[in-house]
Amino acid sequence: MASLLSVKQWDIETDVLILGFGLAGASAAIEALDADPNVKVTICEKNPEKYAGGNSRAAGQSLLIAKNPTALKAYQKAMSTSNPIPEEMLDEWAIRMSELEPWIKARAEEVGSQYIRGTGFTDRDAVLEFPELGAEDAVTYTATILPIPAGVWLAFKKNVDKRAVNVLYNSPVKDLIQDPDTLEVFGAVIEQDGVLKNIKAKRGVIMAVGGFEANLDMQRNYCGYEEIFPLGNPANTGDGIHILQKAGADMWHMRNKGQSGGIWPGLQIPGYKTVFLRNLFWQSYSWVEIAADNKRFYNETAELQLTHYKEKKHKHWVDTPHINAGPIHMIFDETTREYNCLALKAFTWNIAAENLDWSDDNLVEIEQGLIAKADTIEELAVKIGRDPTEVSAEIQKYNGACAAGEDKEFSRIPITLQPIIKAPFYGVKIVPAVVCTGGGGRRNIESEVLSPVGKPIPRLYEAGELGSMFSNLYQNGSYLTEAMISGRAAGKNAANQNCWD
């Protein structure tokens, strides 16, 4: 921490200081001004304005709408048995969730955005991830705000833009300013153009800077992942984790039983830190994935997006094996190339922030060398650095299963058992891709950051993905709504604090 005693001057003064301009930060700013229209609110964002939004911009924009708090609490509790969430937190969270929809609709209506029922890019009315744990009773429906992608974030940014909020872009936080004895927080140190500046926050500081999914060193040390790539904000490098540790916060949910958001199949583009999400919706199925040993390793066509890429093994839901099977290649034939775009264009940072594209027929990517092409499976194997005999044998084995109409190894349903037989053949590397991390400072439902003895650190709040309450399994639409709930609590409580000066 930076000691208050060491501060010689204040470069900027505000009442409520919000660090991070994603959905949580936006919700905090809106609620702070609703609590006190005269409060001065400042947001510091690490990225330039064109890249603001954090993971909420790159997310699928699904919003969980749950009108039965009793059922919702029971469902979330069942999803969190391996790492229980405090009972009192679950109780109040479920109530606030059941009351949230009118506030979301108001934010959309205020800026002329369209709030709809459904996901916006599929025909599903509700995504029920874990029915056996109570999803049907808990989930009323899924909603979103158009357009796709990034509609929810865009609507909330417009809400902030029309309010008296001072947003400082290109201004990453470097430290908090605290009393070294009481840990009370009085402001923060940010960096602008290589210069450190002290910001006085007279009422409170809200940490909403996201997680550490784009920091491979932290992923290796906290989660044991050798190789993993972010689908979201590349600026989420764990800054908040280190700052909260220095500030005296207790930490939670740094690893959990698995990645709450799951580990998904990604497509890597050289020169970019983030990856595309491999398509989830297929017109043909003449393809497989092979692991480091040149063998298939799971049911490739299972609808794993409906469980955030969790598989049920020995009665436990665990991460799919992409994280431990690499290097992985997807092998496919001309039919799959012709009728399927390999990348999903509905969300991810590459789509929503970088405005990158992937050709519908994959020919551009083949021309660029991102996808290997060959006239035989053996030739393809050599091009992707594989043993041609082993790869050929595995494809022949899969084609045999197609002919028999039964996948004895991984139970692909018969309709997806389409042989890889039409030349030319193709191979593309699949990398493990992470949605987000949920670890951070332990907090309560009022978004107060807690010390190791369970006491709130005065004037310090936390919202969004950083320190998320979710501790194991994850229900679609919960992260964005949690960002709203935690952001609102942080904004309201910070605004209602007495000024320390």
Q: Which pLDDT belongs to residue 252?
A: 98
Q: Who wins on pLDDT, 255 or 31?
A: 31
Q: Is the pLDDT of residue 320 over 90?
A: no
Rounded distance between C-alpha atoms, residue 104 and residue 274, angstroms = 29
* Distances, alpha carbon 198 to alpha carbons 41, 168, 470, in Å: 16, 13, 33
Q: Which amino acid is at 484?
A: M
Q: Is the pLDDT of residue 5 over 80?
A: no
Task: Note if the bond before 102 is cis, omega within 30 degrees.
Answer: no
Rounded distance between C-alpha atoms, residue 285 and residue 235, angstroms = 36
Q: Is the pLDDT of residue 116 over 80?
A: yes
Share of the chain above pLDDT 70, in %: 100
Over the Cα atoms of the chain, what is R_g?
24
Q: Indicate the average pLDDT of the chain.
A: 96
pLDDT digits (tens, 9 = 90+) for 227-240: 999 999 999 999 99
What are the structure tokens assigned to 167, written together? Answer: 């947003």
Residue 307: closest CA among 268, 264, 254: 264
pLDDT band for 72, please (50, 70, 90 cuts): very high
pLDDT band for 321, please (50, 70, 90 cuts): confident
Q: Taking residues 39-44, what's their average pLDDT? A: 98
Tokens 């264009």 correspond to what residue?
345
pLDDT band for 501, please (50, 70, 90 cuts): confident
Q: Is the pLDDT of residue 3 over 90?
A: no
Q: Which pLDDT belongs to residue 129?
A: 96
pLDDT digits (tens, 9 = 90+) for 135-159: 999 999 999 999 999 999 999 999 9
Q: Taking residues 43-56, what's their average pLDDT? A: 98
Give me the helices (H) in 63-209, please.
69-79, 87-98, 101-110, 135-138, 151-161
Rounded distance between C-alpha atoms, residue 200 and residue 40, angstroms = 11
Q: How far apart are the first and last CA of the chain?
A: 20
**Residue 33: φ, ψ to 5°:** -75, -30
Please state whether beta strands 287-290 and 316-319 pair in parallel, antiparallel, or not at all (unpaired). unpaired
Rounded distance between C-alpha atoms, residue 272 and residue 213, angstroms = 15
Q: Which amino acid is at 220?
A: R
Q: Which pLDDT belongs to residue 138?
A: 98
pLDDT band for 436, please (50, 70, 90 cuts): very high
pTM, to two decimals: 0.97
What is the widest separation between alpha-carbon atoms in the chain?
Answer: 78
Q: Which run of H or E residues covers position 117?
A: strand 115-117
What are the structure tokens assigned to 187, written together? Answer: 């402001």
Q: Which pLDDT belongs to residue 406?
A: 98
What are the structure tokens assigned to 205, written together? Answer: 């500081």
Q: Which pLDDT belongs to residue 122?
A: 83
pLDDT band for 206, please (50, 70, 90 cuts): very high
pLDDT digits (tens, 9 = 90+) for 214-272: 999 999 999 999 999 999 999 999 999 999 999 999 999 999 888 999 999 999 999 89
Residue 234's Cα: distance from chain center in Å? 11
